[in-house]
Chain A
């Protein structure tokens, strides 16, 4: 994927064009808001971020608390009970029922938002950071350094991603942080390739030569002249990538590489109650829907951003 030089987001990054910054930003924003899928995606994600931030207020129970002995009448894997919808007042209220450890499923799903979004943003943030460094250095330096770095990226891409993440976590040891690192490492090559290709396409541009002639340092040229051109594809890919990371962390938790988690996490909630599918499907359905909705939000926003920011694709 190569960056185009004329998309509005990138022009704003160039100080020379900053005479009408407000209108350019407005154009970009307008472009995004004209995309129906972007609006839906943005709405879903706003909801989810709000849920993550205000989780302690939204959740009805402590997500890690076993309610046996704390709440009268609590039952193991009880069906959803909402008093407003006709559930008898004698039963304790649990919007999504309880799980096998007498915990409130609704609260666990709500707090799971925090886990998934944190892991998604951090893992992809790390991947962008390292991917950008690798891609920028490889593209700008060229030669053997470029060759070696890109061959390493090829090797990482040669694995099915979940499998690579699995062997990295088994090597680093179980745990959420290591799973996050694994997802980050697996995602690096995509960003390295994006940045490298846009560096290659702008390295010889006149304004870069001009900056060199003016005596700007290499790192300055890379940061201020070359990298802003990668912003559009990076933003689009990152949006889709966070959705992918949310899927991946759930999958890693589901196959059990993460181990036992104290923090509520959607994939491990499903793994834990997998065998109860026919008896208590709500325990699986609730986190399953949460994962799907989150990933859908990122995918819709990513598609909308691509259509809005990349003029070449406007058909």
Chain B
């Protein structure tokens, strides 16, 4: 078991390295002159020279590879001298220290922006995934058990539609219905932002009387204060909690619909397969109640493939978060990526991409490992 986990960890390292390499390469090798790409029209030699110096863009990109006047040049003789003194090594070194570079637009460290923006995204993603599982799994089980019933046909039609509608179209439609059509009814929901104006979540540091605290501990507290639902829940700010949740409903439904549909489909087909197996017949033959057979014996095995799918769906959720946060004006990582695209802030796009890809790889690693706990058959191989 330990061996399996270690092996999976070791296989992950080249993948992480590859992620960094691809993100680095898209920034340095292809984009043409980085200064012009970032500053656009304003890029004159007078502006670009200090810019290039400041970001170390005059150094070798990787050992022996230079950029001279927008052309790439390979000088093999320089490889030993630039083995450690090159842009890629500097970038890796920065990453290892948690330095993702400075945002061009905000002139602030990308890592700081990320810490501010990450809680909103995590909150949204978790809520969307919870919704997808809590609705998707029961729906899938019912339609698998009552195959071809009205529930089954309805669920599968919904699932087909759910995976076909773009996240942003669904989000905009929901906003239109719940914020405009149902405006003055109890069902009305806010279409943008994380909190209504006039409502704020008191940060943890203030609640605990730790405002004088400084350093990493304070940063950690502030990071957790960014989780509005969690913070308002543990500090008993009920009005803020209700408001934060109301703001999250529409985005979570928009973002959770695709995983919901996929989870329902997988659960259904997986249950169908399991119900046809011999051990289920044995369970029935020995006179167990149908409830016990389906819920205790069949469902457990049927949910195994669902675990894998949930891990894979995280990629779709993180992609979808860019669109959902843009539609609903949520100050999360996805919204920052959108703003960075509009502002040509490449450092932010790349830094956030690396972190999101790392999160995705990490979660899938956890899913893989937990799978071996759930299904001993995998361990034997």
Count contacts between A and B, CB distance < 8 Å: 140
CA distance A162 to B166 in the complex (A): 12
Chain B contact-residue range equals 35 or more
Q: Does B165 contact A (CB under 8 A)?
A: yes
Q: Given A151-B15, A158-B357, A292 and B276 touching (CB < 8 A)?
A: no
Q: Which of A11-19, A62-70, A230-238, A295-303 is the interface stretch?
A: A295-303
Q: Which of A171, A274, A300 contacts B160 (CB 8 A)?
A: A300
Q: Most A CB atoms within 10 A — which of B166, B176, B323, B350?
A: B166
Whether B169 pairs with A291 at a CB distance below 8 angstroms is: yes
A285 in the interface (beta carbon within 8 A): yes
Q: Are the C-beta atoms of A151 and B14 separated by less than 8 Å?
A: yes
Hey, what's the 0/1 contact readout for B159-200 against A, CB within 8 Å counting as 1?
A: 011011111110011011001100000000000000000000
With CB as the reference atom, state the residue of chain B lying closest to A300.
B160
Instruction: For A255, give its contact among B21, B23, B164, B341 (CB under 8 Å).
Output: B341
Q: B residues within 8 A CB of A255?
A: 322-323, 326, 337-338, 341
A173 contact set on B, CB distance < 8 A: 31-32
Give per-residue flags for A242-278: 1 if the beta carbon is below 8 A from chain B beta carbons, else 0.
Answer: 0100010011001111000000000100100010011
* Residue from the list B175, B337, B353 in contact with A277, Cβ < 8 A: B175
Instruction: Look across to chain B and name the residue whose beta carbon is closest to the beta carbon of A168.
Output: B26
Is A161 in contact with B19, judged by CB distance below 8 angstroms?
no
Please report the C-alpha to C-alpha distance between residue A283 and residue B320 in the assembled complex, in whole angstroms: 22
List residues of chain A with CB within 8 A of the CB of B316: 160
| Residues from 139 to 162 in A contacting B, C-beta threshold 8 Å | 151-152, 154-156, 158-162
A292 to B171, CA, bound (A): 13
Residue of A nearest to B312 (CB): A157
Q: Which of B163, B167, B360 contacts A159 (CB 8 A)?
A: B360
The interface residues of chain A lying within 8 Å CB-to-CB of B167 are: 251
Distance (Å) between the CB of B83 and the closest chain A CB? Answer: 22
B138 within 8 A of partner (CB): no
Rounded to whole angstroms, the CA-CA distance of A156 and B175 in the bound complex is 34
> B319: which A residues are within 8 A, CB to CB?
160-163, 251
Known: A158-B361, A160-B318, A172-B30. A315 touches B15 (CB 8 A): no
1/0 per residue, CB under 8 A from B, across A67-90: the answer is 000000000000000000000000
Task: Tell me if A166 counts as interface (CB < 8 A to partner B).
Answer: yes
Which of A158, A170, A277, A293 is close to B341, meaning CB atoms less than 8 Å apart? A170
Within 8 A of A (CB), among B52-101: none
Quick one: given A155-B15, A167-B350, A254-B323, are A288 and B166 in contact (CB under 8 Å)? yes
Q: Which residue of A lies closest to B321 (CB)?
A: A160
How far apart are the CA atoms of A292 and B326 in the complex, in Å? 19
Interface presence of A48 (CB below 8 A): no
Q: Are B15 and A292 in contact (CB under 8 A)?
A: no
Question: A158–B360 contact, CB under 8 A?
Answer: yes
* Chain B residues numbered 117-175 whose CB sits less than 8 Å from any CB in chain A: 160-161, 163-169, 172-173, 175
- Whether the Cβ atoms of A170 and B180 lie closer than 8 Å is no
Bound complex: CA A295 to CA B165 (Å): 8
Q: Is A32 an interface residue (CB 8 A)?
A: no
The reply to whether B338 and A277 contact each other, CB–CB distance below 8 Å, is no
The answer to whether B172 touches A243, judged by C-beta atoms less than 8 angstroms apart, is no
> Is the C-beta of A284 less than 8 angstroms from some C-beta in chain B?
yes
Residues on B with C-beta less than 8 A from A247 are 166
> What is the distance, in angstroms, from B309's C-beta to the closest C-beta of chain A?
15
Chain A residues within 8 Å of B, Cβ to Cβ: 37, 151-152, 154-156, 158-164, 166-168, 170-173, 243, 247, 250-251, 254-257, 267, 270, 274, 277-278, 281, 284-285, 288, 291-293, 295-296, 299-300, 303, 315
A-B contact pairs, 27 of them (CB 8 A): A152-B18, A154-B18, A155-B21, A158-B360, A159-B360, A160-B318, A160-B357, A162-B320, A164-B353, A166-B341, A167-B349, A247-B166, A250-B166, A251-B166, A270-B169, A270-B172, A277-B176, A278-B179, A278-B180, A288-B165, A288-B172, A295-B163, A295-B164, A296-B160, A296-B161, A300-B160, A315-B273
4 A-B pairs closest in CB distance? A155-B18, A162-B319, A288-B169, A171-B26
Known: A154-B18, A162-B319, A278-B176. 16 other contacts (CB 8 A): A37-B160, A154-B15, A158-B18, A160-B360, A163-B318, A167-B23, A168-B26, A171-B31, A173-B32, A251-B168, A257-B341, A292-B169, A296-B164, A299-B160, A300-B160, A303-B160
